[in-house]
Structure 1
Amino acid sequence: MKRLSVIITLFLVLMGCSQESNTEANTEIDEEKQQQILDFVNTDINQIASYETKANEILATVSGENFKNDQELYTVLTSQVIPEFEKAMAKAEELEVTVEELEPIKKKVVDALDIYYEALLLEKEALENTDEVLIEQSNEKVEEYMVAMDEYHKEMEEITTKYGIDYQRN
């Protein structure tokens, strides 16, 4: 009987050690994932956002309150805005994520950028053909893009909460 209780005690001690090392391993994995998620947001997405912001800032100089004429808008759109936005798209396409949970989020970013790019191309075509219907379609694509970006932010909030990261929408 004494031998059985020694075996049981030894077994319980070993199980405790095993669980402790598993907990430490899980903590290390979570910390690695946390760092990879931070890098994804603070480096990769930030670079994409900077291209996108620059494209939109350029567009704002010739649209809305700053609109002067279709020709100026067309020239800036084709020579500056679209090429700058293509940099954002290229960066998004080349993103390599190592955290499995980031894969669908990366896809959302790529899809959202594709939607906005379609809006820019529709606007370009509308200006080439003086077509109000295409302008309306472009505006609808911008709204679709906004919905897609909202979904992206919601998913980022979920994953960052899971890993104890403070996420701020920009």
Structure 2
Amino acid sequence: MPTQFRADYTVRPVYINNNLSRGTFKRNHEGDYLCTEQELKMMLRDANEAGNDGLLLEYYTMDDIDIATLERFRQMFQNLHPEHQWNSAEHKEFLTNFGGYTRDRRTGKEGLTMAGLLMFGKGLPVRERFDNLRMDYIDKSNLIGDQRYSDRLTYDGTWENNLFNFIRMPVGGIRLVHT
């Protein structure tokens, strides 16, 4: 039986006939099939060895940051590291130190990174840039009868839907904390 080799993520997508959109295929157990536009985008995104968190998002600025969220994070950071030199920095410098804001030295353009917008962004800019992102937590413990879930946290317009708020949101009497 022939061994199938998968191309490393850094060289994907592999395509034929010099045509990225019509020549990129994936193989599953039934055979090969043409990749969807979404699958192609995912492969191109994932090929970045350095990751995408630090990518500059053009036209996204400090105006797109939810300052209340950032200040809650900064307070937590300061409580954990009371003597840290970043505690006295302005918000933009603080975000830069954390990788949430960047400047392209070649072009001079500056703005939020993907990580900065996702973690501390206002809800509307987050939804505009990441239109397929859904922050949704469903607790399926302690179900009774035909209950689909015992608790659910999803965006309802009462909080800025960024990742920091999502992981800190109280759910069912508990607070979600990333460990």
> Please, what TM-score do these two structures have when normalized by structure 2?
0.25
Which structure shows the higher strand fraction?
2
- Greater per-residue helix proportion: 1
Higher-Rg member (1/2)? 1
Query: RCO higher in 1 or 2 (8 Å CA, sep ≥ 6)?
Result: 1
